Amino acid sequence: MPRIQKYLQKHAQNLQPAAIAYLAALDQIESFAPLIAHAIEQELSDQRSHLKLIASENYSSLTVQLAMGNLLTDKYAEGYPHHRFYAGCENVDLVEEMAQEELKQIFGAEHAYVQPHSGADANLVAFWSILVQKVQNKEIERLGKKTLDELTPEEYEQVRKLMNQQKLMGMSLNSGGHLTHGYRHNISSKMMRSVFYDVDPKTEQLDYHTLAKQALQEKPDILLAGYSAYSRRINFAKMREIADSVGAVFMVDMAHFSGLVAGKVFQDEYNPVPYAHIVTSTTHKTLRGPRGGFVLCKAEFADTINKGCPLVLGGPLPHVIAAKAIAFKEANSPNFQDYAQRIVKNANTLAEKLKSDGARIVSGGTENHLMIVDLSSFGLTGRHAESILRKAGLTVNRNTIPGDQNGPWYTSGIRLGTPAVTTLGMGTDEMNEIADIIVKVLKNAKPAIVEKTGQLSKANAEIDPKILDEAQQRVNAILAKFPLYPEIEI
Ligand code: DSN
């Protein structure tokens, strides 16, 4: 029997619109592509049966999810509101303007651009806008021309080379920086020269004095702050001073912590928006929206950022922008501030309990939504821990630690985050229980022996099935109290 029919029969007295829409959509998809319907259903079941501790993931609301599944996907709307390259964009204008206004209100930003499809795209829009405004446009002026199109091929080649010579300074991957902040295997290191700052080897935290000295030596054109695996707050007032001291544009990638800024946990010097020329973010991490990105900037960059398409992007995704507008409205509510505070409280509780149970947390703790656990004392790599914890019912990801000897594939750490479990409503008791389960599993896991070589495997670990079983039962007991999307019965 179709899912929707079963649901309507059972709940005739109390129909939930989101459940109806979801189940009807699954039935419709199944009639054409059963594999896809099955994969969506299985994903729901997977997310319901594992504790989601991936620091960059969350659970968006069903309203956000449903706003993405409609005919807005069929509309091209290159350009920006009221300045489009296609006819018939009035409805997309309404949607995009609402998303921009909600976003500006959340962050008190001078300008918001909501088209980037991801955080990586948002960073590319920001990088190239800075290069266009600070290098290309100045060079056009110096050459006595008015527009890019007036340059001769030789002049244009000169501008192109100049842009390639600019210098980006961001946090290194091992210290917790992101791939798009100048990593060699990412385009960010190919479009500019990139140099990195590290955390202090002793404190494993940023040392602004050292950073200021390095900036003076390197004289970057862009100073970039932000991270995907750093568990401390950043003082953006100090970072802006450093950027100003070398004439750099100050850019912040707040993809991981934008929800904490929106929820007013990060205020004053810990809020990047008043200090940075340009701020980028994803929409789906602590901010709990659909998958996507955005850029905020000072008014002086607005015109250039608005031309993210065609500079970097193709046509916008109006259906995703609709879902962003919903998520931004959600983040503008007072409930969201309570949510953001609980994320950080939960992370702190989890980290402190892990520590008291014998795990080492990089930098000694956390001030945000995430923490990196150093696995050295357990004799495990990140891959061992990631896979054995997954078997126990906890989804985490392996992560490098500062000075990691195991490289980015195996790693020596795992990253844990609390945005998703906090969305489910978990609190202190659950964090203590989760820490206990994690340490018990890690203490009892041993690297497996590779049959062919007799060597210890760097990827697979073994554990007494009784301990694993006990961990699974404890995880299931927690999950049973905090159901995901309870209105959807599958
Ligand atoms: N993949 C995201 C994260 O896990 O932090 C960043 O790109």
- pLDDT tens digits for the chain (490 residues)? 999 999 999 999 999 999 999 999 999 999 999 999 999 999 999 999 999 999 999 999 999 999 999 999 999 999 999 999 999 999 999 999 999 999 999 999 999 999 999 999 999 999 999 999 999 999 999 999 999 999 999 999 999 999 999 999 999 999 999 999 999 999 999 999 999 999 999 999 999 999 999 999 999 999 999 999 999 999 999 999 999 999 999 999 999 999 999 999 999 999 999 999 999 999 999 999 999 999 999 999 999 999 999 999 999 999 999 999 999 999 999 999 999 999 999 999 999 999 999 999 999 999 999 999 999 999 999 999 999 999 999 999 999 999 999 999 999 999 999 999 999 999 999 999 999 999 999 999 999 999 889 999 999 999 999 999 999 999 999 999 999 999 998 8
Phi and psi at residue 295, to the nearest 5°: -130, 135
pLDDT at 166: 98
Residue 64 CA to residue 60 CA, distance in Å, equals: 6
139 marked among binding-site residues: no
Half-sphere exposure of 28 toward its Cβ, with a 13 Å CA cutoff? Answer: 7
Using a 10 angstrom Cβ sphere, with 0-12 exposed, 13-18 middle and 19 or more buried, the burial of residue 125 is buried
Neighbouring C-beta atoms of residue 36, cutoff 10 Å? 12
C-alpha distances out from residue 9 to 6, 20, 451, 487, 489, Å: 5, 12, 55, 15, 13
Q: Are 372 and 402 in contact (CB under 8 A)?
A: no
Place of tokens 């007013």: 264
pLDDT at residue 138, as a whole number: 97
The pLDDT score that the predictor gives to residue 490 is 84
Note the pLDDT of residue 455: 94
Beta carbons of 37 and 30 less than 8 angstroms apart? yes
Q: What 8-state DSSP symbol labels residue 278? A: E
Nearest alpha carbon, ligand 1 atom 3: 56
**pLDDT score recorded for residue 489:** 87
Beta bridge partners of 111: 297
pLDDT of 366 reads: 98
For every residue of 106-170, DSSP letters joined together read: HHT-SEEE---SSHHHHHHHHHHHHHIIIIIHHHHHHTT-SSGGGS-HHHHHHHHHHHHT-EEEE
Q: Ligand 1 centroid vs 422 CA: distance in angstroms? A: 19
- Quick check: helix, strand or coil at residue 99? helix
427, burial (CB in 10 Å: exposed 0-12, middle 13-18, buried 19+): middle
Q: Is 178 annotated as a binding residue?
A: yes
Q: What lines the ligand 1 site, CB under 6 Å? A: 56, 178, 228
Pairing of strands 446-449, 249-253: unpaired
The Å distance, Cα 227 to ligand 1 centre, comes to 9
Cα distance between the two ends of the chain = 13
Contact indicator for 292, 320 with CB cutoff of 8 Å: yes
Mutate to test the pocket of ligand 1, among 57, 117, 178, 179 (most ligand atoms within 8 A of CB): 178
Closest C-alpha among 121, 125, 160 to residue 140: 160
Tokens 């080492």 — which residue?
A: 360
Do 245 and 215 form a contact (C-beta atoms < 8 A)?
Answer: yes
367 is in an annotated binding site: no
- Which atom of ligand 1 is nearest the CA belonging to 120? 7
Bond preceding residue 402 cis, omega within 30 of 0: no
Q: Pick from 237, 196, 189, 236: which is nearest to 215 by CA? A: 196
Is the CB of residue 238 less than 8 Å from the CB of residue 322?
A: no
143 belongs to an annotated ligand binding site:
no
Residue minimizing CA distance to atom 1 of ligand 1 = 56
Atom of ligand 1 lying closest to residue 180 CA = 7
Q: How many degrees, rounded to 5, is the angle at CA 47 between CA 384 and CA 457?
A: 10
Q: How far apart are CA 245 and CA 453, in angstroms?
A: 56
Given phi > 0 = left and psi -120 to 50 = alpha, else beta, which region is 485? Answer: left
User: What is d(CA 308, CA 133) in angstroms, rounded to the nearest whole number?
Assistant: 12
Compute, in angstroms, the gap from residue 45 CA to the centroid of ligand 1. Answer: 23
- Closest C-alpha to ligand 1, atom 4: 56
| Minimum CA distance residue for ligand 1 atom 2 | 56
Nearest-CA residue for atom 5 of ligand 1: 228
Q: Pick the atom of ligand 1 nearest to 54's CA.
A: 4
pLDDT at 162: 97
pLDDT at 451: 87
* Partners of 223 in beta bridges: 169, 250
Q: Which atom of ligand 1 is nearest to the CA of 119?
A: 7
Element (H, E) at 322: helix 318-331
Question: What pLDDT sits at residue 27?
Answer: 97
Measured CA to CA, the distance from residue 231 to residue 206 in angstroms comes to 11
Cβ atoms of residues 315 and 80 within 8 Å:
no
Q: What DSSP state is assigned to residue 457?
A: E
As beta bridge partners, residue 51 has 394
Bridging pattern class, strands 360-361 and 370-374: antiparallel
Check if the beta carbon of residue 463 is closer than 8 Å to that of residue 379.
no
Q: Please, what are the domains in the chain?
A: 1-48 (no CATH), 69-331 (3.40.640.10), 336-479 (3.90.1150.10)
* Strand-strand pairing, 222-226 and 51-52: unpaired
| Main-chain dihedrals φ then ψ at residue 195, nearest 5 degrees | -130, 160
- 3-class secondary-structure state, position 397: strand
Distance from residue 282's CA to the centre of ligand 1 (Å): 9
Per-residue b or e along 193-207, where b marks 16 or more CB atoms closer than 10 Å to that residue's CB: bbbbbbbeeeebbbb
Q: In ligand 1, which atom is closest to the CA atom of 229?
A: 5
Nearest ligand 1 atom to the CA of 228 is 5
User: 475 near 48, Cβ under 8 Å?
Assistant: no
**177 marked among binding-site residues:** yes
Q: What secondary structure letter does DSSP report for 480?
A: H
316 neighbors 96 (Cβ within 8 angstroms): yes
